[in-house]
Amino acid sequence: MLSVVVAPWAGEAEPVFVRQPDELHDAASTMKVAVLAALVRSGVNLDAEVPVVNRFESVVGGEFGNDPDWDSDPLPWELLGTHVPLRLLAERMITHSSNLATNLCLARTDPRAVAEVWRRAGATRSASPRGIEDYAARDAGVHNRVSARDLVRLLRSIGDVPELLELLERNDFRVDLAAGLPPNTRIAFKNGWFPGVRHSVGLVHPADCPPYLIAVCYTGPLATGEDRTDPAARLLARISAAVWERRDAIGAVTAARRPGAPRERAR
C-alpha cells in the first residue's frame, strides 16, 4: 500500500496531488513529531533534568521497556541511570529517532496532550495513543496510526514554532525523501521504519520556487527494516525526486484554482 500527498506550504492550500491519502498505516516513528509538538505546546521545561530509565507505564496497565536492539540511537542507552536535560532527549528522538528517548519524552507529557496536537492539526484519522514497544497496548487494540494527509497537516500545524522545523532539518537519517533531492537542499522531515513499513513526511525548501510539503507512506514487502539501505527507502527517494522535478508546478496548480484565475493547466 502506497500513499502520497503533495501540497504547497503557503497558507491552507489544498494538496495538488494525492494517492490513497487517507489510508491508515502503522505510524512507526513519524508519531515522534506529534510527541515533540506536545512537549513544546504543553510548556514543559525542556532544560529540566530527568532520569534516564527503561521502565514505562503501559496505557492498558502494567509496565514495559524498550529493546536496545530495536533502537537506532545508542546514546540514550549509554546514559541509563543518569539525569539529562529533557531537551537532549527530545533532540535525539528526532535527529536519531531514539525509541528510548521517545518514551522518556512521553513520560513528561501524556496521551491527551499528544491527541490535542493531532486535533489542532486537523487530523481526521491519525492518532498515537501509546508509547513505542507498548506491546500490551498493541495486543489490546491500541495502535499508533497515520495517514499521509494527516502527516502533511501535522507538519503544517507546527509551522508557527520555527525551532521545531529547525530540529527536523537536523534529522541524521538523510534517506527516504531527503535522498531524492539535490545535495544541500533544505528539508525539515521525519521518517519512520520497521519491517513492513517505511514512511517520511517533509517540508522541502527549493532555492528557485516556494516550499512544499510531501508525505509518503509505504506498507509492504519492500520495507526490510534497515535504517538506511531499505529498498523501500529507495522507493520513497524516487518519489521525492519525481516531485522535485515538478516543483515549479506545485504553486502554479494552487494559483490556477483561485477564483478568477485563468484555466491554464500547470505543466
What would the 3-class secondary structure string for 149-211 be?
HHHHHHHHHCCCCHHHHHHHCCCCCCCCCHHHCCCCCEEEEEEEEECCEEEEEEEEECCCCCC
pLDDT tens-digit readout, 222-248: 999 999 999 999 999 999 999 999 999
pLDDT tens-digit readout, 158-216: 998 999 999 999 999 999 999 999 999 999 999 999 999 999 999 999 999 999 999 99
> 255 falls in which pLDDT band (50, 70, 90)?
low
pLDDT number for residue 110: 85
Q: pTM of whole model > 0.75?
A: yes
More confident call, 263 vs 153: 153
pLDDT number for residue 187: 98
pLDDT number for residue 265: 34
> 267 falls in which pLDDT band (50, 70, 90)?
very low
Judge contact between 5 and 215, C-beta under 8 A: yes
Q: Rounded to an integer, what distance in angstroms lies between the CA atom of residue 57 and that of residue 216? A: 31
Question: What does each C-alpha distance from 241 to 73, 79, 83, 183, 214 come to in angstroms?
Answer: 28, 38, 42, 12, 11
Of 250, 196, 243, the residue nearest 224 (C-alpha)? 196
pLDDT number for residue 264: 35
Question: Phi/psi of residue 214, each to 5°?
Answer: -145, 135
Of 217, 233, 238, the residue nearest 2 (C-alpha)? 217
Radius of gyration of the chain measured on its C-alpha atoms:
18
pLDDT tens-digit readout, 20-50: 999 999 999 999 999 999 999 999 999 999 9
Question: Phi/psi of residue 85, each to 5°?
Answer: -60, 140
pLDDT number for residue 252: 75
pLDDT tens-digit readout, 62-91: 999 999 999 999 999 999 999 999 999 999
Whether the predicted pLDDT of 256 surpasses 90: no
High-pLDDT (> 90) share of the chain, %: 89
pLDDT number for residue 134: 96
Residue at grid coordinates 484565475: 261
Judge contact between 228 and 174, C-beta under 8 A: no
> 3 falls in which pLDDT band (50, 70, 90)?
very high
